[in-house]
Amino acid sequence: MHSIKHFFTALLFLILVSVSAQHPKKDWYQQYSVNDTALGIDLVNALNTTPQPANTKPVIVAVIDGGTDILHEDLKANIWVNTREIPGNGVDDDQNGYVDDINGWDFIGGKNGEVHYDNLEMTRLLRDYKVKFGTKTSKEIAKADRAEYKKFKTLEAIHTKQLNAAKVEFEATADFKKTMDAVINEIGNSEFSLETLMEYTPNRNEAKIGKANMLSYCGFLNMTPTELIKAIRHDYETLNASVNFQLDPNYDPRDIVGDNYLNTNIRNYGNNEVKGPDALHGTHVAGIIGATRNNGIGVNGIATMVQIMVLRVVPAGDERDKDVANSIRYAVDNGAKVINMSFGKGYSFNKAIVDEAVKYAESKDVLIIHAAGNDGLNTDEKNNFPTPKYENGALCSTWIEVGASNRDQSPASFSNYGKSTVNVFAPGSEIYNTVTDSKYDWLQGTSMASPVVAGVAALIRSYYPNLTAVQVKSVIETTVIKPIVKFKKPGTKRKKTFYKKLCTSHGIVNVNAALKAAAQIK
C-alpha cells in the first residue's frame, strides 16, 4: 500500500472538483441566505431590487485563459463576434493584425497545431541560465555575473527538489493507477458503486491489489469508487505533465507557435482556434461570468448583458509574459472593458512587457480582474505574477486582485491572501458551471473567484456605462461584506485571523450593495 502522502495531488483534485458527495445548491454563490449557509454575492436580490436602467449596454469581457468551448449550449449566445471580420476568408478584413479572429485569438497556436503542455517559468529561466553559465564553477564566473550566478544556483536547487518530488509522486500514482485499471478492466466500466466493488471477486493478482487499494482509499477519503477513479486519473495526468513537460528543461514547444519569442515587437502570431486541446478551465471561467441567463438550460452567469471574448494564452504549464501582454493589448484594442485573468506564476521572464500592456489597459479605462493564486500564501511576501505593481513601484488603478471564500464566508484554505496586495474575496469554493462539450461540473479555486468579480464588474458597467473603471473598482471594494469574526487563516492548520488582515477591502464582494452604490454616482 502506498503512503497517503503520495496522493496529495489527488487529494487536491478532490478539493478542486469533487469536494464531497453532498454539494450545496448549484447557484449558492449567487445567493445570500443565512438559513442554508449560502453566503454568496447576493445577485438574485440585486437583480430583483435594482431596476435595469434604460441606457444599459452590453459589455465585452475578455477571458484570458487556456481556451473556451464557444459552442457550449449555455455560452454560445454570449460569445463575442468580431463583426468587422468575414469568417473563413483568410483575410485580415479589419486590419488588426489577426486573420479571421472571429471570437478572439489563440496566442499559443500555430499553423500546424497547438501548444498543449509547456514548461513552468522556473524551468524556462533555468534553461536560459544553463546556456549562459554552462558547467562553470563560481570561481570561473566574472564578478559582474556573480549575482545572476547565485540566482541560477538557487533556482537549480529549487527545480531539482520539485522535480525529484514530482517523480516520486508520479511513480506512486502510476503504480496505484495500474492496479486500479486492472479492477476497471475486470468489472468492465469505470463507474460503479462501493457495493459493486465490495462484492466483486478479482481474477488476477494485480486486480486483487487494486481492489484492496481502492477500498482503503475510498474509506479514508470518504469517496465513491467513481470519484476516486476520476481523481487518480487526473492526478496521473497532472504528474505526467509535471515530470515530462513542465519541469523538463529539454522540452520546449515554442516552435509550434513559430514566432521569434525573444522579439517582443512581434504580435501577430498564433491562430484563431480559441478552444485549444483542454478548454475545461476557461469554459468554466467564462460560464461564471456569462452563461446565458434564464434560457431554461444549464446555469445562469452573473452578467446579464455580456459578450465573452476568448483569448487563449495559458497552456498546461506557465503562461508566457509575451503572450499575456499581447492578449491584454488585443482585448483593449477590440473593445473589452473588463479582462479576467485566472492564472498566475511565481516567476516572471519579462515583467516590463506585461507592465506596459497593463498600463495601456489602464489608460484605456479597462478593468483587470486577477486571481490571487491557490497556494495559501501571503502575496505581500511572495509574488504571484502578473501583478498590479509596476517596476517603478506605482500601482495599476484599474486592477482588482481576488482571493477565494467559502459558502460560510470563511476564506478558502487554499487561497492566497495579502493585507496590501489582495483587494477583495469572492466565492471560489464548490462552484458549479459550464465545462467542455455542453457539460457542467464543480470546480474550485481563486480561478473561480476572479470571474465572479469580473461578472459583477461587467454587470455594473452594463447598467452604468458612464462609470469609469476606477469608479467601478471603488464601488466593488467599498461595498464588500465585512465579516466580524475570525476565521482560519489560509495555509495554516489552526491560526485564525480577520479579513482585515487578508485583503485591502476587509471583505467579500456583494453585488447587491455594489449596484445600489453605483446608481448613486452621478
CATH number of 31-119+270-519: 3.40.50.200
Report, in angstroms and rounded to the nearest whole number, the Rg of the chain calculated over CA atoms: 23
Confidence at residue 224, expressed as pLDDT on a 0 to 100 scale: 94
Q: Identify which of 435, 464, 519 has the alpha carbon closest to the alpha carbon of residue 337.
A: 464
8 A C-beta contact, residue 55 and residue 304? no
Three cell numbers at 373?
493564486
Domain ranges of the chain: 31-119+270-519, 121-246
How confident is the model at residue 35, as a pLDDT?
Answer: 87
For the stretch 457-504, pLDDT in tens is 999 999 999 999 999 999 999 999 999 999 999 999 999 999 999 999
Q: Give Cα 499 distance to the centre of its chain.
A: 23
Q: Which residues of the chain have a pLDDT value below 70?
A: 1-22, 522
Q: Phi-psi category of 444—alpha, beta or left, where left has phi over 0 and alpha has psi -120 to 50?
A: beta
Q: Compute the distance between CA of residue 255 and CA of residue 260 in angstroms, rounded to an integer.
A: 9
Query: Which pLDDT does position 19 carry in this prediction?
Result: 41
Take residue 134 and report the three cell numbers written for it. 554552462
The span from the CA of 18 to the CA of 220, in Å, is 15
Tell me the pLDDT tens digit for each residue of 258-306: 999 999 999 999 999 999 999 999 999 999 999 999 999 999 999 999 9
How much is the pLDDT for 9? 40
Q: How high is the pLDDT of residue 148?
A: 92
Give pLDDT, residue 7.
Answer: 40
Q: Write the CB contacts of 435 (distance below 8 Å, at least 6 apart in sequence).
A: 69, 280, 283, 284, 287, 441, 443
| Separation in Å, CA 265 to CA 115, 260, 262, 269 | 21, 9, 9, 11
Q: Could you give the residue ranges of the DSSP H alpha helices within 260-320?
A: 280-290
**Which residues lie below 8 Å from residue 139, measured CB to CB, with a gap of 6+?**
none
pLDDT of residue 137: 83
pLDDT for position 13 = 42
d(CA 374, CA 345): 10
Query: Residue 522 has what pLDDT?
Result: 66
Length of the chain: 522
